[in-house]
Amino acid sequence: MLICALVSGLVPLTVIKGAGSEFIPLPAGQNATVADFHSIRTNTKDTPSYFTSGFYKIEAGPSRPAHYDFEETKYILQGQIDILDEATGITHHLVPGDFAFFHVGTKVQFSTKSSGFAFYAVTRPVKAAHPNLQGREEVTK
């Protein structure tokens, strides 16, 4: 089947198996981390860019500032992630099912009173390829 797809000009999808929160420990002395697990240089004709996806994990502790020079989306999967939007002064309390979009120029502070886990997609190359998520691409024959 794969050979037929390649011959016809179609490109097969990439599937990452078993990429869950249990595989993403926090670095020593830190209460938050990103875990990039897939990145490509896009083939978009109008404006080629990077497209990277991964997970964001945060535990109670100091707030984590972020100033965006790329676009990002976050979709909350577990817990709660609080985001202080410095442009408005509003703190958003995001829970599973909530979605946030960060524009270029957005400045925020992430925090939580317990823990939070989110999926993200960004328009930047990999910053920190997470070793526990490498090699989890599904093998097709």
Instruction: Write down all domains in the chain, each with its CATH number in brackets.
Output: 17-133 (2.60.120.10)
Asked whether residue 4 carries a pLDDT value surpassing 60, the answer given is: no
Neighbour-count burial of 83, counting CB atoms closer than 10 A to its CB (0-12 exposed, 13-18 middle, 19+ buried): buried
Q: What is the largest CA-CA distance in the chain?
A: 54
Q: What pLDDT digit, counting tens, does each position of 54-89 carry? A: 899 999 999 999 999 888 899 999 999 999 999 999
Interatomic CA distance for residues 29 and 127, integer angstroms: 19
Q: What pLDDT digit, counting tens, does each position of 33-45 carry? A: 888 777 777 776 6
- Residue 139 near residue 96 (C-beta atoms within 8 A): no
Asked whether residue 140 carries a pLDDT value surpassing 70, the answer given is: no
Q: Between 11 and 40, where is the model more confident?
A: 40
| β-bridge partners, 138 | none
pTM, entire model: 0.75
